[in-house]
């Protein structure tokens, strides 16, 4: 079932016009080059991977004023306005032409509808124009494959934490199985919404600013801690702290920095706990943190302490790869393409809900 | 009381004499001797990655909840280890040692491996469903239901199989069908991810639960809702 979004047709025509200009001479190459398009939330990125080498990875972020979140329609509008520029940058930085690309990968889901469609349209158009096969990639798997590529972790327990997702994943028998997850909202969503309540700037991201403020916090405010088996829950702590923010800040019982500090200490402890449980369950000795919230150095620090106590290794990437980016889609696309996957045009729809364990991971044993 | 004070002072010495049998994510488990009996000592050690206040509050809460839930279960006739002693400074619980037992996890694994006596597993599923129904009717939420947290004590025949619930560290008291549904959901996920191809066995477990519990319809309804939640949640970012 395919929804039509406004301006789709006009936009397609516009792309055709611009992309026509990118046709050029061919360069002989025996290696596999995949271009990846990502725009499931407020970041729009295009990245190019050649056999495990990141050739380019430009990105733009749609940033809203403090106190506001990003809405699907406006996010899509932002992506439309910059995607072709970013595409051109990706090709220029990689020093490649359209003919050098072997496969066009894009985010099939999960994510927000309108932005996903915007990006999918460009990917489809470009694939058809350049005569290259198309590949719809699962966003979560993009994060995992990029994490594996960059860190060279062999078989880690993966903590995937972002604004839209919070999952503990382990690979087993051709699936990335979800061992634990949030039963309501993602941890990044909890942090972002809290940032709105205390009107923290969304530039470069609310989570980053919470992290900086938390460093200055000194007083620990007791907050609800909710772990249920291997799962976590954040909606309780969010409503509690939203309430506490109004009460305590107005009576100067604590500073916003104290709240940021307390929130981080609590939610990150919950995440480390469920990761540790999964590790104990699977007998794993490696942890890989991926997703935007994975940039947070305090989270990395806490996870590092837990790993050290167990004699396990921690792997994490920097913000160019933690935060949504095109190259991660290209990398997952590369793995899929090399193991024979292709997405037919008729199957190249997008979906807002796409479970990590729905994909058959044929590129690993 | 003088006696418990002297025991409290020497809890660390009990640990030194004891033999550590497991280091889990949450606690170290020892086997030792206490007042002439074989005991399991569960020591919740400080987790260094947590802020000390978070750690202290959480550890104390978990120790208290564990003991309270075990006692509540026992009073209702559900099999759980006897609590001999609790020390809140070192966060140690001295529990009855359930000897001659295997975890349900190991039992299912070996039963599946040897492929004999499927009826045995059916009876087990019935028993688990029954026991959980009893527990939920007491409004005890286990919080960490897995097949590693259920022990099977070898009896004369399968009819007399004794199921003992352990590891109540994440437990709490609640009458809400939502919480009971989530409790079963946690078990379902743990069950199916640990024991492949056991969907029908788990179905039987739920049937037995439904038949044994007085409050089951609302709980099963919530379980269905929670199952869908994972699928229907919008995943952005």
Contact indicator for B180, B142 with CB cutoff of 8 Å: no
Q: What is the pLDDT of residue A16?
A: 61
- Average pLDDT value for chain B: 87
Percent of chain A with pLDDT over 70: 92
Task: Give the nearest chain A residue to B55 (CA atoms).
Answer: A269
Query: What contacts A108, CB < 8 A, 6 or more positions away?
Result: A116, A120, A136, A137, A138, A139, A343, A348, A349, A350, A351, A354
Q: For residue A117, say whether it is annotated as part of any ligand binding site.
A: no
Gap from B113 CA to chain A (nearest CA, Å) = 18
ipTM score for this prediction: 0.82
Q: What is the pLDDT of residue A344?
A: 96
**B224 has catalytic annotation:** no
Q: Chain A 133-172, CB below 8 Å of chain B: which residues?
A: 139-140, 162-165
**Residue B6 pLDDT greater than 50, yes or no:** yes
Cα–Cα–Cα angle for B187, B202, B166, nearest 5°? 40
Instruction: Order across the sheet with A166-172: list the strands.
Output: A175-181, A166-172, A157-161, A286-290, A313-316
Which two three-digit tokens encode residue A182? 């949030």
The catalytic residue among B87, B126, B144, B179 is: B144
Q: pLDDT band for position B77 (50/70/90)?
A: very high
DSSP reduced 3-state for A71: coil
**Residue with the larger pLDDT of the pair B120 and B19:** B19
Q: What is the pLDDT of residue B158?
A: 54
Task: Give the nearest chain A residue to B172 (CA atoms).
Answer: A228
CA dist., res. B142 & res. B167, Å (int): 8
Q: How many CA atoms lie within 13 A of A211 on its CB side?
A: 19
Which two three-digit tokens encode residue B135? 């527990």
The reply to whether residue B186 touches residue A229, judged by beta carbons under 8 angstroms, is yes
- Helix axes B52-75 and A256-282, enclosed angle (nearest 10): 60
Contact indicator for A299, A271 with CB cutoff of 8 Å: yes
Q: How many CA atoms lie within 13 A of A11 on its CB side?
A: 24
Q: What is the pLDDT of residue B234?
A: 47
The closest alpha carbon to B178, from B129, B132, B235, B136, belongs to B136
Which two three-digit tokens encode residue A75? 């996010």
Residue ranges of chain A whose pLDDT lies below 70: 1-10, 12-14, 16-30
Could you read off the pLDDT of B40-56 as tens digits, one per residue?
A: 999 999 999 999 999 99
């Amino acid at each position: 079932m395919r929804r039509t979004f406004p301006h789709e047709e006009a936009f397609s025509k516009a792309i055709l016009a611009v992309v026509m200009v990118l046709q050029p001479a061919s360069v002989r190459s025996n290696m596999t080059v995949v271009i990846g398009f990502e725009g499931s939330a407020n970041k729009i990125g295009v990245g190019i991977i050649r056999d495990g080498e990141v050739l380019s990875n430009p990105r733009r972020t749609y940033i809203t004023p403090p106190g506001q979140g990003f809405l699907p329609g406006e996010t899509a509008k932002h992506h439309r306005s910059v995607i072709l520029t970013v595409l051109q940058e990706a090709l220029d930085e990689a020093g490649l032409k359209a003919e050098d690309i072997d496969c066009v990968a894009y985010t099939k889901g999960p994510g927000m509808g309108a932005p996903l469609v915007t990006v999918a349209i460009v990917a489809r158009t470009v694939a058809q124009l350049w005569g290259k096969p198309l590949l719809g990639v699962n966003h979560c798997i993009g994060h995992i494959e990029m994490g594996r590529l960059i860190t060279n972790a062999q078989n880690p327990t993966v903590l995937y934490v972002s604004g839209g997702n919070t999952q503990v994943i382990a690979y087993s028998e051709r699936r990335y199985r979800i061992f634990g997850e949030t039963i309501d909202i993602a941890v990044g969503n909890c942090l972002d919404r809290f940032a709105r309540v205390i009107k923290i700037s969304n530039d470069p991201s609310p989570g980053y600013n919470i992290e900086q403020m938390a460093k200055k916090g000194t007083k620990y405010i007791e907050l609800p801690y909710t772990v249920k088996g291997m799962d976590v829950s954040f909606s309780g702590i969010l409503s509690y702290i939203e309430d506490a923010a109004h009460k305590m800040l107005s009576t100067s019982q604590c500073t916003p920095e104290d709240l940021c500090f307390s929130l981080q200490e609590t939610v990150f402890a919950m995440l480390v706990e469920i990761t540790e449980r999964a590790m104990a369950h699977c007998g794993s000795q490696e942890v890989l943190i991926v997703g935007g919230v994975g940039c947070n150095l305090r989270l990395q620090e806490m996870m590092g302490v837990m790993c050290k106590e167990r004699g396990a290794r921690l792997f994490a990437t920097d913000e160019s790869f933690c935060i949504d980016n095109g190259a991660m889609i290209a990398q997952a696309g590369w793995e899929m393409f090399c193991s024979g996957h292709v997405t037919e045009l008729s199957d190249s729809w997008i979906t807002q809900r796409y479970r990590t364990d729905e994909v058959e991971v044929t590129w690993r044993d | 009381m003088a006696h418990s004070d002297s025991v409290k002072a020497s809890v660390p010495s009990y640990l030194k004499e004891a033999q550590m049998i497991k280091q889990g994510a949450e606690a170290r488990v020892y086997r030792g001797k206490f007042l002439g009996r074989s005991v399991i000592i569960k020591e919740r050690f400080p987790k260094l990655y947590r802020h000390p206040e978070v750690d202290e509050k959480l550890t104390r809460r978990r120790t208290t909840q564990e003991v309270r839930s075990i006692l509540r279960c026992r009073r209702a006739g559900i099999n759980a280890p006897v609590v001999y002693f609790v020390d809140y400074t070192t966060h140690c619980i001295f529990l009855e040692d359930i000897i001659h037992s295997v975890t349900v996890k190991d039992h299912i694994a070996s039963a599946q491996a040897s492929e004999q006596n499927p009826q045995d597993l059916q009876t087990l599923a019935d028993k688990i469903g029954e026991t959980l129904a009893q527990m939920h009717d007491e409004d005890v939420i286990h919080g960490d239901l897995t097949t590693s947290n259920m022990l099977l004590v070898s009896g004369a025949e399968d009819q007399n199989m004794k199921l003992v619930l352990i590891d109540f560290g994440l437990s709490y008291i609640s009458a809400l069908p939502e919480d009971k549904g989530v409790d079963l959901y946690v078990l379902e996920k743990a069950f199916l991810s640990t024991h492949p191809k056991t969907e029908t066995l788990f179905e039987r477990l739920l049937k037995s639960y439904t038949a044994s519990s007085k409050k089951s319809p609302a709980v099963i309804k919530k379980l269905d809702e929670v199952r869908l939640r994972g699928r229907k949640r919008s995943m952005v970012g």
